[in-house]
Amino acid sequence: MNGEEILKLLEDEKNEAELFRQADLVRKQYVGDEVHLRGLIEFSNICRNNCMYCGIRKDNKKLSRFRIEPDELVKTVQKAVNLGFRTIVMQSGEDMYYTRDKLCRIIAAIKKFDVAVTLSVGERTFADYKAFREVGADRYLMRIETTDKDLYHRLNPKMSWDYRYECLLMLKELGYELGSGIMVGLPGQSLKSIAEDLLFLKRLDVDMAGIGPFIPHQETPLANSCGGSLHLALRTMAIMRLLLPDINIPATTAMESLHPKGRILALQSGANVVMPNITEGEYRRLYQLYPGKICINETPVQCRSCIGLKIMSIGRKIGMGYGSRKKVL
Ligand code: SAH
């Protein structure tokens, strides 16, 4: 598919059911019926950046900030491993309290549990990424957010699109399984630009692509923006499946925040991964990138069993392996 063909599919609300059906078929053929679960721990909401869309941006003074100390973090992960998770995703704001050494020690401790470790801690240096990889980090998740550089720089003051892209290349070079992705429905983002994002992710040959709707947060400069629609996000995700048939595609939490069945709809339109939250207690509520975040009052046990039942109710099964990308092409 070229940009124009992708654009047509993005615009075509009327026939989206057919696109979703095709993406579901391709998903089944290439990655099968297993849904891989990733236990997501959000371990710090402290961030040096000021992304205009993000609820944990530095200038949100109304938010109480937390960081989970390494010991507690490792304990939480151990409990998640006991619940059966084979992948742990460690996500945070760009919090430099977690130095290279500190993160290395945490990663090494978690790797002892025989799980795949995904990091999602934003932009760091090559030396950091290399050290994390050497102590066992397997995967890295960093969305490019948009490939429209002007839009990116309007939304991410003082950040550089080029450096973010360079980080993605470094991670690839270091042998991480690479996850990236975008938000859909950002103010000033055109469908043509989303089509270009999709081609970018295809060219980068990402192993995982996370696509979610932008949801405006009250305590950000974009509080009064429109936000993305679930359906456009689903169409974008379905096209991603057609472009890169063998990759991992999560049913994103932001989709479920817009619709009670958001993640199930996604799993039936090309997605094959879900990332249940394993963060405990009060921390969940405090890590609100956008409003309406699901499951803020649940426990990890509840999230695991709830999503398990949902997955089985649509005739799918839970993956028992690490759920790495198996390249077909
Ligand atoms: N610091 C890490 C993690 C960022 S939070 C990093 O830079 O990669 C994870 C993702 O949440 C972001 O990449 C962004 O795509 C998404 N996000 C942030 N604010 C959002 C909002 N208001 N609506 C929807 N998604 C949002």
* Look-up of token digits 């990236």: 180
pLDDT 10s digit of each residue in the chain, 329 long? 999 999 999 999 999 999 999 999 999 999 999 999 999 999 999 999 999 999 999 999 999 999 999 999 999 999 999 999 999 999 999 999 999 999 999 999 999 999 999 999 999 999 999 999 999 999 999 999 999 999 999 999 999 999 999 999 999 999 999 999 999 999 999 999 999 999 999 999 999 999 999 999 999 999 999 999 999 999 999 999 999 999 999 999 999 999 999 999 999 999 999 999 999 999 999 999 999 999 999 999 999 999 999 999 999 999 999 999 999 86
pLDDT of residue 243: 98
For a mutational test of ligand 1's pocket, the pick from 252, 289, 290, 293, i.e. the residue with the most ligand atoms closer than 8 A to its C-beta, is: 289
How far, in Å, CA of 297 to CA of 110, rounded? Answer: 25
Q: Which atom of ligand 1 is nearest to the CA of 182?
A: 15
49 lines ligand 1 (CB under 6 A): no
- Helices 3-11, 191-204: crossing angle, 10 deg rounding: 130
* Look-up of token digits 């969305």: 143
Q: Which helix (H) or strand (E) holds 203?
A: helix 191-204
Q: Which helix (H) or strand (E) holds 164?
A: helix 161-173
Q: Which atom of ligand 1 is nearest to the CA of 47?
A: 1
Identify the three-state secondary structure at position 212. strand
pLDDT of residue 125: 98
How far, in Å, CA of 226 to CA of 232, rounded? Answer: 13
pLDDT of residue 122: 98
How far, in Å, CA of 225 to CA of 214, rounded? Answer: 10
Question: What's 67's DSSP letter?
Answer: B
255 lines ligand 1 (CB under 6 A): no
Please spell the DSSP secondary structure of 264-309, one letter per residue: HHHHTTT--EE--B---TTHHHH--SSTT-TTTT--HHHHHHHHHH
Do residues 178 and 208 make contact, with C-beta atoms less than 8 angstroms apart? Answer: yes
Burial of 128 (0-12, 13-18, 19+ CB in 10 A): middle
For a mutational test of ligand 1's pocket, the pick from 159, 183, 186, i.e. the residue with the most ligand atoms closer than 8 A to its C-beta, is: 183
How many CB atoms within 10 Å of residue 4? 9
How far, in Å, CA of 253 to CA of 293, rounded? Answer: 8
120 lines ligand 1 (CB under 6 A): yes
210 lines ligand 1 (CB under 6 A): no
pLDDT of residue 32: 98
How far, in Å, CA of 46 to CA of 215, rounded? Answer: 20
Tokens of 85: 């998770």
| Torsion sign over Cα 227, 229, 232, 233 | positive
Closest among 181, 187, 191, 192 to 146, alpha carbons compared: 181
- 0.95 exceeded by pTM: yes
212 lines ligand 1 (CB under 6 A): yes
Closest among 319, 316, 326, 324 to 33, alpha carbons compared: 316
Domains in the chain (CATH in brackets) are 3-318 (3.20.20.70)
Do residues 99 and 106 make contact, with C-beta atoms less than 8 angstroms apart? Answer: no
Closest among 71, 72, 54 to 63, alpha carbons compared: 54
pLDDT of residue 272: 98
The CA–CA distances, whole Å, from 261 to 143, 251, 256, 303, 311 equal 24, 10, 6, 15, 11
How far, in Å, CA of 49 to CA of 220, rounded? Answer: 13
pLDDT of residue 255: 98
pLDDT of residue 191: 98
